[in-house]
Amino acid sequence: MSYNCMIRKGIGILGLFFILLPLRADEGMWLLPLIRELNMDRMEQLGCELTAKEIYNHDAASLKDVIGSLDHGSCTAGLISGEGLILTNRHCGLDEIQSHSSPERNYLLDGFWAMTKEEELPNPGKTISFVVSMEDVTDRVLGMVHHEMTETERDNEIEQVSETIIKEATDETHYEAIVLPFYEGNIYYLVLLETFRDVRLVAAPPESIGRFGGDTDNWEWPRHNADFCLMRIYSSPDGTPAEYSPDNIPYNSSTYLPVSTRGYSENDFTMVMGYPGTTDRYLTSARVREIAEIENVNRIRIRKSAIELIEKDMLTSDRVRIQYTAKHSHLSNYYKYSIGQNRGIYLLNVVERRKAQEEEFRYWISEIPERIEKYGDVIEEMDEVIRERKEMENALSYIEEVFLLHKAVEIYDFALTAIPLYFNRLGFGNDEDEPEEYINEMRETSVNFFRDFNPSTDRKIASALINQYAMHVDPIYFPGIFSTIHKKYKSDIDRYLEHLYRKSVFTDRERFDKFLQDPKHKILIKDPAFLGAFAIYSTYFQILAEYEILEDRYFSASRRYQEGLIEMYPDSSFYPDANSSLRLSYGTISGYKARDAVRYDYYTTLSGVMEKEDPENRDYTVPQLLKDLWRKKNYSPYSKDSLMRVCFLTNLDTSGGNSGSPVLNSRGEVIGLNFDGNWESMSGDIIFEPYYQRSICVDVRYILFLIDHFAGAGHLIKEMDLHD
């Protein structure tokens, strides 16, 4: 399922590897309860020294207990001390680093190092979850499901049964649970989680180290940035999860990851465990084409415009730079990814290869009448749905990118927070609904919004993207703001926006606070931002209502397609697509040949940082202290020679959500931290290419060196279990 469809539908399509032949070695994001049967023999051949039970055991301590999911799937983190210290990527903590920054105390630019636990910074809303157990509940979930059900009836039945299973699993415990579908809803697992809600910022390197290379080097190799940060889990005094409190204590854990200072060599075994977000490796040719030609093209066009405007304003103001650093990072990351994914789709001829797979499937169906009856129309049905929804898909991708989910323009999404209050004031909703609850929620949301909001920047983005929407979306999917612009402002978008940002209560902190003192619905129905948000919101759900009818047809057909593919290759081992559940990927340390006459080594060094240095380019500035340390070559005890390795490559199968996954050696010791993929593998969520696909990792020895020698925070290293 696409980047956008995942969000629209929740847990969506899960599938098989695109070619559906016996899997090539080391490919796959594997479910932990199944590795004993499917993977351990191969892992041992590559050098793994761990047993299956040391990796996953629901009755005793294992690696599953020390690999956490940040914010329910946004990133991964590893527990590396008995006092709750966790290691993840700097970009996974970027929102938190930004929230604590100001022009006077710029942790984004200068870094942050807590020298005592009292200096560690709380982060309201930040969570980390650890898997307690995973249980196959397929028979129970699908027990009352039958083929005659509509998709809605099927979903309702599964939801009701899942709610019962979750309630039984969590009653009288502090655990959370979720029932997740795998293999397109052919398999279901109950995942029991322990979620901690007091996660504090401990350390983060300065931008010139943690983001060295900036957007230029993003998704590229060779790489030279130390993309890491440290946080700490706090619990109640009895060790159970708790909301933030000064009375909480560092989480005490008897199980945590050891850290290796021994290093690695090419072809050494390595693995990651983490929470990859989504992959789509079984999609039909028509769906791949839809992603490339609609979703990616729109995302590239929209984000390019927004990014350019943000960058101009960031150059003129330190405050705007702090306000928009995280937003810029989020927008630019998938902007460049989408460019790379389309490049990979075309260069690797993915559409034609999927067509070949479909022809093989059709031939297999034709051999037996029963197969024709069961599977004969599935590909044609999916293709027909994609044809019918083309203009809807285009409009939805624009609304989501510009206004709602990814909100390049922020003001309308913020104004939507008033909708519950608006309907409450009109007398709708439950009798027990108190308006004060809605007002308090709006007030809480406004704190972060206004802290990171610059009306001038947002207005410029709105002007550019509303114009784009008008140019590229079918007019039947225009929200009501276009009628307002045409009738009231004579089609002048900038006049409309000038009025909106000058008058709306949602664009100014003082006006907003005054409104909350006496929030009358009459104010809302005259407010241009609220009216615009309401119009966009209404249009979005009108489109979705029609879109989801088609989507039900698509999901029904794709589930049968997957069922047929499994039946077609009964002797093959398959892994389900990623869905933010805990997975394992294994492989080796490995360089690669990028193209003719270009072969990349498997690691980079600190000398490469100095070679890239450019004092005139913010992305390539180097702190003086780091240059001094490099000249002295005193890397002990984190290097046994005159080289300090910075980053390295593995052929692990990873995706978004694996950011922050600890990279482990054959003994389960941390040797690095996964943070990116190479440019040649950007189509990896759709197709795995073993010759090109590499995960980019920061060497843990460089991390230790920076903590100790650069920051002088050796007390943090003393918490860790270092293995030489």
pLDDT, one tens digit per residue, over 152-173 is: 999 999 999 999 999 999 999 9
User: Which pLDDT belongs to residue 432?
Assistant: 58
User: Which pLDDT belongs to residue 12?
Assistant: 29
Inform me whether the pLDDT recorded for 5 exceeds 70.
no
Q: Is 708 a catalytic residue?
A: no
Q: Is 91 a catalytic residue?
A: yes
In a domain, 685, yes or no: yes
CATH code of the domain in which 261 resides: 2.40.10.120
Pair 580, 528 in one domain:
no
Q: How does residue 8 score in pLDDT terms, banded at 50, 70 and 90?
A: very low
Pair 486, 631 in one domain:
no
In a domain, 307, yes or no: yes
Number of CB atoms found within 10 A of residue 666's CB = 19
Residues 6+ apart with CB under 8 A from 367: none
Q: How does residue 569 score in pLDDT terms, banded at 50, 70 and 90?
A: confident
In a domain, 172, yes or no: no
Instruction: Calculate the average pLDDT of the chain.
Output: 94
Q: Which of 546, 566, 586 is the last residue of a domain?
A: 566
Q: How does residue 2 score in pLDDT terms, banded at 50, 70 and 90?
A: very low
Inform me whether the pLDDT recorded for 21 exceeds 60.
no
pLDDT, one tens digit per residue, over 481-531 is: 999 999 999 999 999 999 999 999 999 999 999 999 999 989 999 999 999
pLDDT, one tens digit per residue, over 22-76 is: 344 478 999 999 999 999 999 999 999 999 999 999 999 999 999 999 999 999 9
Pair 579, 607 in one domain:
yes
Pair 262, 296 in one domain:
no
pLDDT, one tens digit per residue, over 395-407 is: 999 999 999 988 9
**Which candidate in 227, 452, 653, 676 is catalytic?**
227
User: Which pLDDT belongs to residue 566?
Assistant: 86
pTM (2 d.p.) = 0.91
Q: How does residue 307 score in pLDDT terms, banded at 50, 70 and 90?
A: very high
User: Residue 644 burial (CB < 10 Å; 0-12/13-18/19+)?
Assistant: buried
Inform me whether the pLDDT recorded for 444 exceeds 50.
yes
Give the domain range for residue 545: 285-566
Pair 308, 393 in one domain:
yes
User: Which pLDDT belongs to residue 434?
Assistant: 72
Is 340 in contact with 539 (CB distance < 8 Å)?
A: no
Is 435 in contact with 519 (CB distance < 8 Å)?
A: yes
Inform me whether the pLDDT recorded for 701 exceeds 70.
yes
User: Residue 232 burial (CB < 10 Å; 0-12/13-18/19+)?
Assistant: buried
Query: What would the mean pLDDT of 298-303 be, rounded to a whole number?
Result: 98
In a domain, 228, yes or no: yes
User: Which pLDDT belongs to residue 16?
Assistant: 34
In a domain, 264, yes or no: yes
Number of CB atoms found within 10 A of residue 275's CB = 30
Pair 346, 492 in one domain:
yes
Q: Is 227 a catalytic residue?
A: yes
User: Which pLDDT belongs to residue 295?
Assistant: 98
**Which candidate in 91, 224, 406, 709 is catalytic?**
91
Pair 268, 295 in one domain:
no
Query: What would the mean pLDDT of 649-677 be, rounded to a whole number?
Result: 98
Give the CA-trace dihedral at 286, 289, 294, 297, to 10 degrees: 170
Q: Say how far apart CA 178 and CA 188 lie, in whole Å.
A: 10
* Most confidently modeled range among 25-29, 558-562, 712-716: 712-716
**Which candidate in 504, 659, 661, 695 is catalytic?**
659
What is the tally of structural domains in the chain?
2
Q: Say how far apart CA 532 and CA 697 lie, in whole Å.
A: 44
Inform me whether the pLDDT recorded for 228 exceeds 50.
yes
DSSP assignment of 506-574, as one string? TS-HHHHHHHHHS--HHHHTT-HHHHHHHHHHHHHHHHHHHHHHHHHHHHHHHHHHHHHHHHH-TT---
Is 396 in contact with 2 (CB distance < 8 Å)?
A: no
Residue 603 carries which side chain, given as an amino acid letter?
Answer: Y
Query: What would the mean pLDDT of 117-131 be, rounded to a whole number?
Result: 98
In a domain, 523, yes or no: yes
In degrees and rounded to multiples of 5, residue 443 shows phi and psi of: -65, -45
Pair 332, 405 in one domain:
yes
Q: Which of 541, 566, 591 is the last residue of a domain?
A: 566
* Bridge-based pairing state of the strands 722-723 and 259-260: parallel
Q: How does residue 430 score in pLDDT terms, banded at 50, 70 and 90?
A: low
Q: How does residue 573 score in pLDDT terms, banded at 50, 70 and 90?
A: confident
Pair 533, 479 in one domain:
yes
pLDDT, one tens digit per residue, over 320-366 is: 999 999 999 999 999 999 999 999 999 999 999 999 999 999 999 99
Query: What would the mean pLDDT of 240-266 be, rounded to a whole number?
Result: 97
Instruction: Please list the residues that pair with 128 across neighbouring strands.
Output: 70, 196
Q: Say how far apart CA 198 and CA 686 lie, in whole Å.
A: 36
Helical axes 455-472 vs 390-402, angle rounded to 10°: 170
In a domain, 599, yes or no: yes
Q: How does residue 429 score in pLDDT terms, banded at 50, 70 and 90?
A: low
Q: Which of 566, 588, 614 is the last residue of a domain?
A: 566
In a domain, 5, yes or no: no
The tally of CA atoms less than 13 A away on the side-chain side of residue 656 is 19
Pair 256, 276 in one domain:
yes
Pair 663, 537 in one domain:
no
Inform me whether the pLDDT recorded for 115 exceeds 80.
yes
Pair 235, 353 in one domain:
no
Is 69 in contact with 129 (CB distance < 8 Å)?
A: yes
User: Which pLDDT belongs to residue 562?
Assistant: 87
